[in-house]
Amino acid sequence: MSDPGKQQSLMRRVSQKAANKLRRRTSSASYDPEERPGPVFVRHRSGSATGEGRLGIQRHDSFDDDDESAVIIDQVDGPSDPNAVSSDKIKTVPLPGHRQIDPSVGVIVPEQLQIGTAMTRITRKKKVKRIFKLDVNKARVSWDPTKQTSRFYVDDMKDIRTGANARNYREELQVSSAEEDRWITIIYIDSEGGKLKLLHVIAPSAELFKVWTSTLEAIHRYRTEMMAGLAMQGEKFVEAHWKRYMANLQASTSQPAKADRVSFEDVERLCRSIHVNCSRKFLKEKFKRADRDNSGYLNFQEFERFVKLLKERDEIKEMWEEYVVNPGVGMYRNEFRAFLREVQMVDVDTDSAQVDKVFRKFCRQSSKMNQTESVSRSHIDDINEMRMNREAFAAFLLSSSYNPPLLAATTAQCLDHPLNEYYCSSSHNTYLMGRQVRGESSVEAYIKVLQRGCRCVEIDCWDGDDGRPVVTHGHTGTSQCLFSDVISAIGKYAFISSPYPVILSLEVHCSLEQQVKMAEHLVNILGDSLVCESLMSNSFTLPSPQELKHRILVKVKGSRQQEYKNGFLRSNTSSSSNATSESDDFGSVAGEKKKPPKVATKIAHELGKLGVYCRGEKFRNFALPESKTFNHVFSFQENSFLKFCKDSEKKFQLEKHNVRYLMRVYPSGFRVNSSNFDPLGFWRRGVQMVALNWQTYDLGVQLNEAMFASANDRSGYVLKPKILRGRNLDFPSDSADAKVKKDKKQVTFSIEVISAQQLPRPKDHRSEDSIDPFVEVEVFSADDKAKGTSTGEGGVDLSDSKGVSGLGAPQKRRTNVVRDDGFHPLFKETMKFSLVTKFEELVFVRFSVYDAQGGDDKSLIATYTAKLISLQQGYRHLPLYDVQGEQYLFSTLFVKVKVDPMTLIDRELPQRGSTTIESLKTSAKSVLSRGFSGDRRSVRRKGDKDKSKESEASQDEKQLHDSKRLLISPPTPESAS
């Protein structure tokens, strides 16, 4: 007999699902799915020299005090293609036969584009003329009305490449160079399947080439401004939205619309189209408050008021009343500085002038927002009399330029160590766009990861049928691309996001003849950026990232004409293995059956000699000569690595090796869906190059992006924890002493999840479907294998004993569900976390926003992951990313972060010298607490601090470390955790 309690529980879940689905259909507003208001994601353009190009992220000293706000579009789009006409050149007086998209902006669309123009479409199979048309209302380009796939939306464009920027595609498709000045490659996301697609066309004339490229760029920029502007403070874009909607309303109805006014249904339709996903009741209440004459319609002035009411933030109003003595008057300079110092943990004294500059800027923005305020010019010039109003304060909190969520990187100070002392952002099977077995190989994959800050890319090289080496996943159904095209793309985009070295990890399966061609391509295409010989003779340490700026290294196995001499690779003869397969298995583990050796591929001398600082070696034993050469690299598959680490002594030898030498770990071949492992388990062992499948935006890639992220740049290199780097004399002498060296620390912090802003609809939602959001917060560390090492309180506990992390059971908690509000859900829930860790640098926090769908069902909306030591304290707006890793243009999560000073965990010590030991403990806590909290208080200009402070702190730590070696007796030998 079935359990009645389970039946009731099942019925309850079914009822919740049914009720939720019925509740989603409460709106009467209709919405055409093809009618798009504008882009949803931030566009990362290949021509950008500013790196990541997030919305609002710019150097704060690049703005004028009088600027009302940063120009949104320059951060979102980056610079235009040099061959395309800029959008301001086509904002001219309308000509006969032309049509404007919007009267307030004046982007002109030539009538010939709307009627259609003939252009030649190029594919691998054919070259055919098609009529390309631009639908202005839907912002859509189509070239075959009989096929749904023969079209793309301007909002989905990722890039427009022309001329030399698209040369690799023209050459690959074997089109004459005479067509280069009229060649257009458009990269876009397929609206149906979400895949990256390319459209190659040749315009019949230079004039039509310019018209098409400049018009598409102008439309995209304008529509991005419209969408991003709604999320900003102020009503700068209200008039543009109003005029565009009125024009569309006139065009879409047979009867003329009532002049200059909109009904509630019109307003609801507009809100749904621009991702204002809230309840009908909420919209109705704001509409009634704005409808001052109770006519049931809104004129333009009332519509402005409606937008202002819609964007009200009650939680910021509460903050305003808490931190400002006289909220009705405004925030004075001393109150602003106190807020930054005590709440945001900003070191205002270090950069006092910059703090005043920011305050003055937002005070002047306040006066622009409040035109009725009569303040004399003398008061405006006196900073102590200036006042910031609540709207400007909200704008400051929203600004990722002036109130960024992450600390600024100090790359200039910490990139002068040898290369082996850094974690390097690395990619596996970089050429693949999707799955491992049937995926597509493309140079776009290399461009994408280099734009995102990757510094080590993998290239699998095979013989091409026509004598030209190709890049593909061998013995699978994946497509292929030319090796020369890949190298050309890397040469162009290697230093887009970071000036620091790029490592090309070659897996060579080519014949000797085609290997020589590979070497020729590397030398000829990369030129002076390629490292072909050592920078300094008689040096037996790797150069630093700083010394290798704008240089490209090759990781490849050596030829038989090379030998080891004094710890370095020399030319002549060699007896070492030169197999090129990545699978450098730990085959010498005692007690195991050895697998038959793989057939070695000989390496041509011309190619092998390019492995100057990254010579691939097959692992046999840590005691052999090849394990002592400073420029060798071992590569291991994840399972082999983990199996080796089960033995404490072998694990200790591996960690000791990684202090001085390079190692690379890559995913198992059984991950055919391109999933990833948890990189924390490999970072904690000192592995420098933890290679991941970047085409899958899962937990592994999210942690990797957080590892290398900072507020102002993304160098792709992060200094390893001190115990995992430095000279061997600083490393434990044996595995028993290893536990003594790695001190445990207590890390405690709290996160208040306050609210979310303008959440997008999940992919399968209709415009009238409600969104019921909640937020999950997960904490990952490199020590969560042991139970009881982390605790949490607040919110709803979701921690799983098995966990999703490869290391064990991370903490996971969530907020309550907010019903029917995806526009501005208020959570106001505080969660506190405490964990014990040996690596405070490897603690990560992931925020996941879900839509509750009844019962236990949920749909992921967006995520954001950050490294705890990089996360700024105080009130911060976190950017949000979709399941593909694309940043939303207007969605954020508002949180408050508070991190307590870190302390050492007390351990059992010898009885002798108790007074000295207690003094040592006090010094340890003081040193570590000062270092941890001090790092977190420096927010924008941390890199300008005096290096002498760092040197002094380093000496303190060294003295503490040396003293502890004398006082602490080693524990009983056992497996290092």
Which of the residues are catalytic? 428, 473
State both tokens at 572.
Answer: 């002549």
Asked if residue 869 lies in contact with residue 840, where contact means CB atoms within 8 angstroms, the answer is: yes
Separation between Cα atoms, residue 364 and residue 360, nearest integer Å: 6
Q: ∠508-514-520 over CA atoms, to 5°?
A: 95
Separation between Cα atoms, residue 188 and residue 443, nearest integer Å: 15
Distance of alpha carbon 713 from its chain centroid, rounded? Answer: 11
Asked if residue 431 lies in contact with residue 460, where contact means CB atoms within 8 angstroms, the answer is: yes
What is the 3-class SS of 857-890, one letter each residue?
CEEEEEEEEEEHHHECCEEEEEEEECCCCCEEEE
Separation between Cα atoms, residue 406 and residue 711, nearest integer Å: 5
State the pairing for strand pair 196-202/183-189: antiparallel
CB atoms within 10 A of CB 406: 21
Task: Dump strand ranges (E) for 79-148.
Answer: 99-100, 108-109, 117-122, 127-135, 140-142
DSSP helix/strand/coil, 443 = helix
Name, in order, each residue with C-beta under 8 angstroms of 789's C-beta and a sequence gap of 6 or more.
781, 783, 835, 836, 837
Separation between Cα atoms, residue 720 and residue 708, nearest integer Å: 12
Q: Tell the residue number behind the tokens 């924890």, with chain if given.
A: 721
Q: Tell the residue number behind the tokens 């208040």, with chain if given.
A: 752
Task: Dump strand ranges (E) for 444-603.
Answer: 456-462, 470-471, 481-482, 502-508, 552-557, 562-565, 568-571
Asked if residue 671 lies in contact with residue 436, where contact means CB atoms within 8 angstroms, the answer is: yes
What are the start-end ranges of the H helices in 661-698? 680-683
Nearest to 558 by CA among 613, 487, 517: 613
State both tokens at 51.
Answer: 């790196």
State both tokens at 29.
Answer: 């507003």
Partners of residue 196 on adjacent β-strands: 189
**Using N-to-C axis directions, what is the helix angle for 264-273 and 300-310, rounded to 10°?**
50
State both tokens at 204.
Answer: 């019949």
Helices (H) and strands (E) in the chain, counts: 26, 35
**Using N-to-C axis directions, what is the helix angle for 947-967 and 914-937, rounded to 10°?**
150
Name the burial class of residue 353, with classes exposed (0-12), middle (13-18) and buried (19+) by CB atoms within 10 angstroms of its CB: exposed
Name, in order, each residue with C-beta under 8 angstroms of 469's C-beta and a sequence gap of 6 or more.
461, 462, 463, 482, 483, 484, 510, 514, 515, 517, 518, 521
Asked if residue 31 lies in contact with residue 768, where contact means CB atoms within 8 angstroms, the answer is: yes
DSSP letters spanning 580-627 = --S----TT-TTSPPPPPPPPPP--HHHHTT-SSEEEE--S-TTSGGG
Separation between Cα atoms, residue 121 and residue 194, nearest integer Å: 22
516 φψ region: left (φ > 0), alpha (ψ -120 to 50), beta (else): alpha
**967: enclosing H helix or E strand:** helix 947-967
The conformation of residue 458, written as its DSSP 8-state character, comes to E
Asked if residue 478 lies in contact with residue 439, where contact means CB atoms within 8 angstroms, the answer is: yes
* Alpha-carbon separation of residue 77 from 41, 50, 223, 772, 916 (angstroms): 11, 10, 12, 32, 60
